[in-house]
Chain A
Amino acid sequence: MERLDNRLGFFSAVPLGLILLLSFLAPLVVVALFSIMPQKVFSLANMPDFSAYSVFFAQGYYRSLLWALGMAFAASLVLFVLCWPLAYGMAKVFGRFSLVLTIAVVMSLFVSENIRLFGWVLTLMKGGLFEGYIRAWTGTGFESPLYNTGIIIFGLVYVYFPFMLFPLAQGISMVPDDTRQAAADLGATRWQILRHVDLPLAAPGIVVGTLLTFVLGAGALAESKILGGQAVIVIADDIETAFTFGQNWPLGSALSMILILIIGGLALFGVNRVDLDAIMGRKR
């Protein structure tokens, strides 16, 4: 009986499973195939020549990739340091107040990312909410902090905040209180407890949070465009340009493939090292 149920379950999952598989895989396959086509063709019926990949190095696209990865890395690092105390509070200290905090953070996701970023532009631009009022009151203005790499990282931190906070809080909640107490009892200082107990035991949450923010940050476009005013070009920007203005699908595809491979590799590496079942609350 149970086996029949299992089989029926499997069969009823097949149609949707196929659609999902197709809709996830098909674009990937198309992109992969286009990336090996000669430059500026719009058909897959050409001899593969990998020229788009050589352009990646020859025309310096690797610089935008490094910018994207570097800023995503910096944002993940800032997010980790920023979110740890808050996540700790949510998991161990705040109690019912955590729910209020969760709702507040989730609410920010209800508004489109672009609109929120434009909000920051209006706030921070010269003559905007911030500088405008200060100048009106004090008579002296200052340069806008917009349009540099710092503000792009700020934008990434701001937008991807929930993606670090919640996995981290989940990870910290998995650290048993008594192991922390036992470590203290055995003579560990706060820092030693953090290093030897909290960080290793919260590792699944740390890995998930860091991966999410890094992966999303590396492919992010709006922050560098809207807040950064294209002070630096990130790889996602190059990809968009290649597909649109450049009319060079193979180049766009090759750049995408490189980003996908790097991020995919990192994700696999990270996920393999932690027990994801633990954080999903599943017993092994």
Chain B
Amino acid sequence: MDAQNILRLRNVVKDFGTFRALHGIELDIKEGEFFTIVGPSGSGKSTLIRLLVGMEELSEGEIWLRDKRIDQTPANQRPTCMVFQSLALFPHMTVGQNIEFPLKLRKEAPAARRKRALELLDLLRLPQNYYDKRISQCSGGERQRVALARALAFDPEILFFDEPLSALDYRLRKTLEKELKDLHARTGKTFVYITHSLEEAMVMSDRIAIMKEGRFEQIAVADVIYGSPVSRFVAEFMGEVNLFEVTGTPRGAPEGPGLESRLDGKAAGAGLMLAHGEAGTIMVRPEYVRFLPAGQSTDFMVRGTLVGQYALGSRIQYEVETAEGQVLTVEKLREDRFAGAEGAAVVLGFEAEHAHMIRGA
């Protein structure tokens, strides 16, 4: 029982007929945290959030909000609120009526409702004259803000988000991601956010949970998930990655096909040691891989042929094929671009401190 935890899930299981969507979820969310659950479609993240807001009943387990058990409480009696993927605004009401809806249900006086709605328009940087606008007159981003204002008018203990930005175009999404983070800071509320986009998760979240097939693979801050994933799934889900399958030598150093290592005893310091014969995967992100000029060496080296290069805006991405047929990815900032032509033989290198060992086969 940690007093700081606003939401606690204990062994939450959800079955749909014979299909088990959630396998005994355990989760603690801290007061005031921006917590994001990321997973591919079908990972159970939507089911989980529907359980949390009360739209779905759990099959086993408990959900605790502070010191109250809420898993049997119907949605309309839970002090939580969700921003829907579709936003689910009421099309027959004005912006103001939408925002005031939860207040109207509580029978607040019209003047007080209006005052609160105008405050919320302000908080979400919508002009005051939007109060009388129809929902159909609002753009996608404005609707997003109205949906947020309506959820905040409810004054929930926890605000849930079910991929609310996924339908918007890239630029608007980027703007709203930052606004959401800013709003989180200003309101001090606990936000629980669901998305399939790791970028969205990285930009906004305090902590990220990676979900796969109804289980959490890893729960950690963004840097840890990005730099030290616990599994290949997490590593590959969190952006471009280069993976090398290795086994431990009798001396405990990792060794794999095509991977030359000159560790000189640094493996222990970098946490890369394996037991003799133990299988593992060495991971390195594309931005830590360098093209080595002749005569230079690094802790790990790979030989290959440059097969492609793509401009990603501020960065250039290179693809290098090794003799074993593995395609590796290298990313360089535009100013550090590599001069080699396609088809050129290259040597790639990276240092032990930038590598991460994923244990297990």
Contact = CB atoms under 8 A, between A and B. Distances in A.
A192 B86 contact: no
B34 interface: no
B130 interface: no
A192 B80 CA distance: 18
A182 B348 CA distance: 53
A126 to B, nearest CB: 51
Interface stretch (A26-34, A131-139, A195-203, A251-259): A195-203
Nearest to B147: A182
B106 A182 contact: no
B354 to A, nearest CB: 45
Given A187-B76, A187-B105, A182 B91 contact: no
B154 A178 contact: no
Nearest to A177: B88
A181 B75 contact: yes
A178 B88 contact: yes
Interface string B13-54: 000000000000000000000000000000000000000011
B55 interface: yes
Given A187-B106, A188-B105, A192-B105, A200 B76 contact: no
A181 B55 contact: yes
Nearest to B136: A284
Contacts of A203: 92
**In this complex, which of A179, A185, A189, A200 has the most chain B Cβ atoms within 10 angstroms of its Cβ?**
A185
A192 B104 CA distance: 10
Given A176-B86, A178-B86, A187-B76, A200 B92 contact: yes
B168 to A, nearest CB: 17
Nearest to B160: A185
A185 B53 contact: yes
Nearest to A178: B88
A179 B90 contact: yes
Contacts of B105: 186-188, 192
A184 B76 contact: yes
B270 to A, nearest CB: 48
A188 B76 contact: yes
A55 interface: no
Contacts of B90: 179, 182-183, 196-197, 201
Interface in B129-159: 150-151, 154
B138 to A, nearest CB: 16
Interface string A149-193: 000000000000000000000000000101101111111110010
A176 B86 CA distance: 10
Interface residues of A, number: 18
Chain B interface: which size bin? 20 to 34
B84 interface: yes
**In this complex, which of A176, A184, A186 has the most chain B Cβ atoms within 10 angstroms of its Cβ?**
A186
B86 A186 contact: no
B101 A189 contact: no
B101 A185 contact: no
B301 interface: no
Contacts of A178: 84, 86, 88
Nearest to B104: A196
B88 A189 contact: no
Contact of B101 (A176, A186, A200, A201): A186
A186 to B, nearest CB: 4
B101 A183 contact: yes
A110 B82 CA distance: 49
B76 A185 contact: yes
Contacts of A186: 76, 81, 101-102, 105, 150-151, 154
A196 B75 CA distance: 17
A201 B93 CA distance: 10
B283 to A, nearest CB: 40
Nearest to A186: B102
Given A192-B105, A201-B92, A185 B55 contact: yes
A178 B55 CA distance: 10
A188 B102 CA distance: 8
A276 B151 CA distance: 32
Contacts of A182: 82, 84, 88-90
Given A200-B92, A201-B91, A185 B81 contact: yes
B75 A184 contact: yes
Interface in B74-129: 74-77, 80-82, 84, 86, 88-92, 101-102, 105-106
Q: Give the 9 A-B residue pairs with the shortest CB-CB distance, closest first.
A: A182-B88, A178-B88, A186-B102, A184-B76, A200-B92, A184-B75, A187-B105, A179-B88, A178-B86
Given A186-B101, A187-B105, 20 more contacts: A178-B86, A178-B88, A179-B88, A179-B89, A179-B91, A182-B88, A184-B55, A184-B76, A185-B53, A185-B55, A186-B76, A186-B154, A187-B76, A187-B154, A188-B76, A189-B76, A196-B90, A196-B101, A200-B92, A201-B90
9 contacts: A176-B86, A179-B91, A182-B88, A185-B54, A186-B101, A187-B106, A187-B154, A188-B76, A196-B90
Interface of A: 176, 178-179, 181-189, 192, 196-197, 200-201, 203
